[in-house]
Amino acid sequence: MVGMTDADPIHAAIGAMFPDCAVTKSRGGYTLADPRSDTPLARIRPIQQSDRFELLYWSMTTERWRTFGDFGRLSLTLDRVHKIFRAEPILHI
């Protein structure tokens, strides 16, 4: 059908795993935001040619997305992203 877009399975999986967040796709990644305030909480960026993701957080001091973790870019499963997101205070308002 004309005008219909293909379903995005990654967007659907992230939305199902984070039902209490607004999930939007933008610039090759997916932003998790607080649905009440639209405040960005985290960004999940798929890593090419894999089933892994990079997790970023919004830095209030630099006003940009920063890699989560002390050792640079992490290659995480979506399940691991979810566990880190729920456990880390920096990823919450």
Total tally of structural domains belonging to the chain? 1
Indicate if the alpha-carbon torsion angle 69, 43, 81, 19 is positive or negative.
positive
pLDDT in tens, 16-47: 999 999 999 988 899 999 999 998 899 999 99
Q: Is residue 77 part of a domain?
A: yes
Domain that holds residue 25: 19-91
Question: Is 30 among the domain residues?
Answer: yes
What is the distance between the alpha carbons of residues 62 and 59, in angstroms, rounded to a whole number?
Answer: 6
Q: Is 7 a member of any domain?
A: no
In a domain, 10, yes or no: no
Model confidence at 6: pLDDT above 70: no
DSSP E strand boundaries for the chain = 22-26, 29-33, 40-46, 53-59, 64-67
Q: Could you tell me if residue 3 is left (phi over 0), alpha (psi between -120 and 50 degrees) or otherwise beta?
A: left
pLDDT, tens only, 45-92:
999 999 999 999 888 888 888 887 777 778 999 999 999 999 988 777
User: What is the spatial distance between Cα 30 and Cα 7, in angstroms, rounded to a whole number?
Assistant: 15
In a domain, 78, yes or no: yes
In a domain, 80, yes or no: yes
